[in-house]
Amino acid sequence: MEEKIELIKKLNVDDSNFIIRVYEALQKNQIAIEEKKKTTTIVLKKNLKTKEPTIDLDKIDASPYLYTNMRRSLERIIKQVKILDKSEIEKPGYTQKVLFEGEEQEITREGTDLAEVMKVIQNQKITLIAEEINEESLFKEEQIKYAEEIFAIKSIEERNKRIYEIVYEYLKKDFVGNDYCDFKDDRCVSQRNNERYPKSKKNGCCFNGLTKCGKLRENGECVVKCMACRLYACPYLTKRGIGYWAYEIPLLKAFFSKKQRGYLVNTFFKKEESILKRVNRYSRKNHININ
Ligand code: SF4
Ligand code: SF4
Handedness of CA 250, 255, 259, 264 (dihedral sign): negative
Q: Provide the residue ranges of all domains of the chain, joining segments of one domain with +.
A: 1-152, 155-291
Between the CA of 150 and the centroid of ligand 2 the distance, in Å, is 27
Please tell me the distance between residue 247's alpha carbon and the centre of ligand 2 in angstroms: 22
Ligand 2 pocket: which residues have CB below 6 Å?
206, 208, 213, 215-216, 222, 224, 226, 229, 269
pLDDT tens digits, 264-282: 999 988 899 999 999 999 8
Mean pLDDT of 111-125: 87
Q: What is the pLDDT at residue 146? A: 95
- Interatomic CA distance for residues 23 and 273, integer angstroms: 36
SS3 218: coil
Over residues 125-155, the pLDDT tens digits come to 789 999 999 999 999 999 999 999 999 998 9
**Alpha-carbon gap, residue 190 to 211, rounded angstroms:** 18
The pTM assigned to this predicted structure is: 0.88
| CA 118 to ligand 2 center in whole angstroms | 31
**pLDDT tens readout for residues 210-221:** 566 777 777 767
Query: Which atom of ligand 1 sits closest to the CA of residue 205?
Result: 2
The closest ligand to the CA of 175 turns out to be: 1
CA of 176 to the centre of ligand 1 (A): 11
